[in-house]
Amino acid sequence: MTTLVGTFDAGTVAAWRIGIQGLRAGEPVLRMIPTWYIGTDLDPAWEFPFKGQGWRVVVDGDVPLDTTIRFTWPTEEERSLVGYGNASRPVNAVPYVCAVRARHRHILRTAPDYCPLGLTSQQRPVTDKEYGPMKVANPEVTLDEEAHGFPTEARNTAVIGWNLVAAAHGDDGKQYWFNTGLMSLAEGWGNLDFWQMCVRSTPGQVVQPSGSVHRVAGSHPASQPSGTSRPVARSP
């Protein structure tokens, strides 16, 4: 088959399609299947919703639709201008896929039969062992944990802290919420020690501003004392 962008011999690839799905609870709720081809005389034969370029949009819902949107741009003319379109998606995706750390590649679910570059070989399933709930044999807290400093394997963004958040009732009839923390940060955070404390007392409420479509979380009134953080000079 001869086209404006070259000749395609019999037995070579003349068409491909890629399926992109959005899943909810493991079931597809959105699906897009772009199909790129230089001709419809294929072996094996593929079904095409129509000849030429365009989109078929099918909605299976309360208002079911099956619509076709056809481009009036002549296919041959478009093909001569952007004949590299087939390769652009996977080729442009290569650096981004390679940059994704292995543990996040499991979100890249590509259908193997639609994946010309074999990206599925990069997937790495997340195991329960890596992300399962933490269980400890002895849950008791000892002074060893209370006194623990930076772990021996600490990186430059290590952090240690002693923190607290509280909700309490005062003998003045008010309710108080407060938090405090004493923390030390490693060199990646600037070799910083700091402590902070904040107290809130007057409840706010969620309100619907007039004319808005959203509601606003009214925080504790700003007039009350709140507290600050205090960087502390670290001892040499």
Partner 1 sequence: MTRTDEQVAVDMESAHIRCTPDGTWHFSVEDKASGIAGEWTHTGNGFPMWYGKETPQTYVPHSISYGYIWAGKVEGTLTIQGKEVTIRGADQRERYYAVDACPAEVGAWHAWMWFHFDELSGNLDEMKLSKHKDMALYLNEEKRYVQAGDFRIDHHDWAYNPTTGTFVPSRYVVTTETEAGVLEFTGSAVGSHAASSVGESPDSPTILLDWPRVEGTFTHSDRRRQTLTNGLGGTLIRQWKPYPDLLVGGAQFQPLDVPRV
For residues 62-91, which are near partner 1 according to CB under 8 A?
Answer: none
Is 113 or 140 the residue whose CB approaches partner 1 more closely? 140
Task: Confirm or reject binding of residue 204 to partner 1 (CB under 8 A).
Answer: yes
Q: Both tokens of residue 15?
A: 């068409």
Is 24 or 169 the residue whose CB approaches partner 1 more closely? 169
Task: Confirm or reject binding of residue 169 to partner 1 (CB under 8 A).
Answer: yes
End-to-end, the C-alpha distance of the chain in Å comes to: 77
- Please give the Cα distance from 47 to 30 (Å, whole number): 20
Q: CA neighbours within 13 Å on the CB side: how many for 115?
A: 15
CB of 46 to partner 1, least distance (A): 37
DSSP state letter for 156: T
Task: Confirm or reject binding of residue 198 to partner 1 (CB under 8 A).
Answer: yes
Piece in contact with partner 1 (CB under 8 A), picked from 10-18, 21-29, 52-60, 224-232: 224-232
Is 10 or 206 the residue whose CB approaches partner 1 more closely? 206
Do residues 201 and 176 lie in contact, with contact meaning Cβ atoms separated by under 8 Å? yes
CB of 206 to partner 1, least distance (A): 5
Q: CA neighbours within 13 Å on the CB side: how many for 215?
A: 7
Piece in contact with partner 1 (CB under 8 A), picked from 21-29, 30-38, 55-63, 126-134: 126-134
Q: What angle do CA 79, 84, 87 make, to 5 degrees?
A: 135
